């Protein structure tokens, strides 16, 4: 079987370039959707149960549902990846509000839609490379307006922040709150390390699975982890900094705006955490094996 990107649409598995969504679906028209993303590494899902649990929690908060329970969805995703043949993959599950009754603006008339897809593993940054991050002046959508703990497609603040970063010659951006404190980047949380202590933003951000993993690993290494505010100055003056995401794991930040962090290389504690993160992928507690021999 030749590896290929696949999608699950309307109960069928199709090549991803054949996947379609209605133009009238509020997921498209209103960003009225939630999703989650897991990854497969060396033929094993990593912490899939936690991604599925977060996905269902998000749907419950948004008054959405799909015709699968957590066990059934896990089996569906395993089958999708198995049929793709991809051993290192990025796997997304999506629920949209759907299409309302003709002429209606009542979300209760919508039938929620489920989609999933698998593509080759997506990297924000390669593990052996450092990120050049710009601090954008773009403010993150307030959590009182859109709950950031529910994965969503309200990304215009993040996208405009990226344009600011590109204008400065940086690779990506961190957006801020109304006080100028660091929140998160497009698809990643941010940590700083100062005097061997870690800090990451406590509120107003997605509580990422990789963020959670980094906190657990740091604590196992005897490092203190603080959940609090990170000012722009804190980030620029950090000994080390890193981003965490399903799309890349633990990724060193080696430059903030025009300020080089440390020696401009992956710092020793970041490297230690990064090595420990990838080592977890072979532990049965976190790794769920994909069966690539299932019939098509």
Strands 12-15 and 6-9: antiparallel
pLDDT of residue 1: 59
CA distances from 184 to 11, 91, 112, 120, 169 (A): 35, 22, 29, 25, 19
pLDDT of residue 289: 97
Q: Looking at the predicted structure, is the pLDDT value of residue 265 above 70? A: yes
| 4-62 per-position pLDDT tens digit | 999 999 999 999 999 999 999 999 999 999 999 999 999 999 999 999 999 999 999 99
| 82-140 per-position pLDDT tens digit | 999 999 999 999 999 999 999 999 999 999 999 999 999 999 998 889 999 999 999 99
pLDDT of residue 172: 97
CA distances from 138 to 124, 177, 181, 252 (A): 20, 8, 11, 22
pLDDT of residue 295: 58
Q: What is the pTM of this model?
A: 0.95
For residue 144, count other CB atoms closer than 10 A to its CB. Answer: 7
- Give me the domains of the chain, ranges plus CATH numbers: 6-120 (3.30.470.10), 131-281 (3.20.10.10)
Give the largest Cα separation in the chain, rounded.
Answer: 60
Integer Cα distance of 282 and 46 in angstroms: 9
The mean pLDDT of the chain is 96
Contact 135, 231 (CB under 8 A): no
Helix (H) or strand (E) holding 52: helix 48-61
What average pLDDT score do residues 235-245 get? 97
């Amino acid at each position: 079987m030749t590896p290929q990107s696949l999608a699950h649409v309307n109960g069928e598995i199709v090549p991803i370039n054949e996947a379609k969504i209605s133009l009238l679906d509020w997921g498209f028209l209103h960003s009225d959707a939630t999703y989650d993303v897991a990854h497969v590494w060396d033929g094993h899902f990593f912490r899939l149960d936690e991604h599925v649990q977060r996905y269902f929690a998000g749907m419950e908060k948004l008054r959405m549902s799909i015709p699968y329970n957590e066990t059934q969805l896990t089996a569906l995703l395993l089958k999708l990846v198995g049929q793709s043949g991809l051993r290192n993959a990025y796997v997304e599950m999506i629920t949209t509000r759907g299409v309302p009754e003709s002429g209606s603006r009542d979300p209760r008339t919508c039938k929620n839609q489920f989609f999933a897809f698998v593509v080759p593993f997506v990297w924000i940054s390669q593990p052996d490379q450092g990120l050049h991050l710009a601090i954008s002046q773009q403010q993150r959508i307030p959590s009182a307006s859109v709950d950031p703990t529910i994965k969503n497609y309200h990304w215009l603040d993040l996208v405009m922040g990226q344009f600011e970063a590109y204008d400065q010659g940086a690779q990506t951006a961190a957006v801020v709150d109304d006080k100028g404190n660091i929140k998160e980047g497009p698809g990643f949380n941010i940590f700083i390390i100062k005097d061997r202590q870690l800090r990451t933003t406590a509120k107003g951000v997605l509580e990422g699975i990789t963020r959670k993993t980094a906190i657990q690993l740091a604590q196992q290494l005897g490092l203190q982890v603080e959940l609090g505010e990170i000012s722009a100055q804190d980030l620029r003056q950090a000994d080390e900094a890193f981003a965490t995401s399903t799309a890349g794991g633990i990724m060193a930040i080696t430059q903030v705006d025009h300020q080089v962090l440390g020696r401009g290389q992956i710092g020793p504690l970041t490297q230690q955490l990064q090595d420990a993160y990838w080592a977890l992928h072979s532990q049965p507690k976190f790794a769920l094996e994909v069966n690539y021999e299932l019939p098509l």
